[in-house]
Copies of this chain bind each other. A is one copy, B any other.
């Protein structure tokens, strides 16, 4: 019934972000207690007490994860962490998660228990409760849907749309490693498929693999900022790659930005593997995704306060909208920043 060929627009033509902005225009928030609706890391709901911050993510086998190299325990852990990351990115503290799973009969009870062991470890580490969910059969593969719930004082919340001209742009940790870890796993999978007798050689790559298979959410940075008395003027987590996230902040804030290639933090292991793959490490950092680091902006007056926080790097500043979004290269060359990010519907024709 929906195969009306005469009037068919492929989703790949408008992409995930195009689809979201179309939906957002059809679904304006109408209720006074919907403090934030579509378009930020999480929805924010007024309760009369602390506002509640809620985020949800759906992960599908064959799209978001590959069980041939992703152990189920790691998958359970990562599914929780990436959702908590959205809550921290609002400057809120997560307290509960709901986990829904759909499983084909390929999965045994023991497999489900392994998956939930990962969920349990993440809940324990981040001190959140698994408070509900849904378990279902699936006609193919494994589907995971996680909803994370947090709280924050209303004036502590940080959004994407509130960056101001001259603010400093900061990122935590280093970027590109999770993407390079994925490239490595894909390479070893291909090698193994061609030569089943050859054991994958992953020694020396622990850091990159851990970034891909067992990421952590940067609650430490949120706490360090609080301790330092700094409230970011805007914040989000880096799940789709630095460039794509910068685009979100600039577009929602009505600003431009200027970032410096030499300031983008890249681990030496990432740089080495990028070279091995003939890839540009800066491109991996800009477009790779899945680092779950925090991208935030602060007022210039807070520079002294943040420069002593471990693992926080100033990579540029917010400009006015007309200046565009610029990447200043190592030789002082200026190129317009491009947002590729993780476009769910691209390359899946």
Contact = CB atoms under 8 A, between A and B. Distances in A.
Contacts of A9: 108-110
A63 B102 contact: yes
A135 B19 CA distance: 8
A245 to B, nearest CB: 16
Contact of A34 (B95, B120, B138): B95
B135 A20 contact: yes
Nearest to A33: B95
DSSP class of A's interface residues: helix, strand, loop or mixed?
mixed
A27 B105 contact: no
A145 interface: yes
A345 B71 CA distance: 23
Given A47-B151, A105-B10, A100 B2 contact: no
A132 B38 CA distance: 4
Interface size class of A (residues with CB under 8 A): 35 or more
Interface string A23-50: 1001101110110111110110101111
A34 to B, nearest CB: 4
A46 B162 CA distance: 29
Contacts of A30: 127, 129
Contacts of A339: none
Contacts of A100: 56-58, 145
A60 interface: yes
B11 A109 contact: yes
B49 A136 contact: no
A110 to B, nearest CB: 6
A137 B345 CA distance: 6
Contacts of A48: 47-50
B52 A47 contact: yes
A116 interface: yes
A198 interface: no
A254 interface: no
Contact of A114 (B2, B11, B16, B151): B2
A103 interface: yes
**A-B interface, 9 closest residue pairs, ranked by CB to CB distance from nearest:** A48-B49, A49-B49, A62-B139, A43-B131, A2-B111, A145-B145, A9-B109, A58-B100, A47-B49
Given A2-B107, A22-B113, 5 more contacts: A2-B72, A29-B131, A56-B56, A58-B143, A139-B140
Interface of A: 1-2, 4, 7-14, 16, 19-20, 22-23, 26-27, 29-31, 33-34, 36-40, 42-43, 45, 47-52, 54-58, 60-64, 67, 71-72, 95-96, 98, 100-103, 105, 107-114, 116, 120, 123, 127-141, 143, 145, 147, 149, 151, 344-345, 348-349
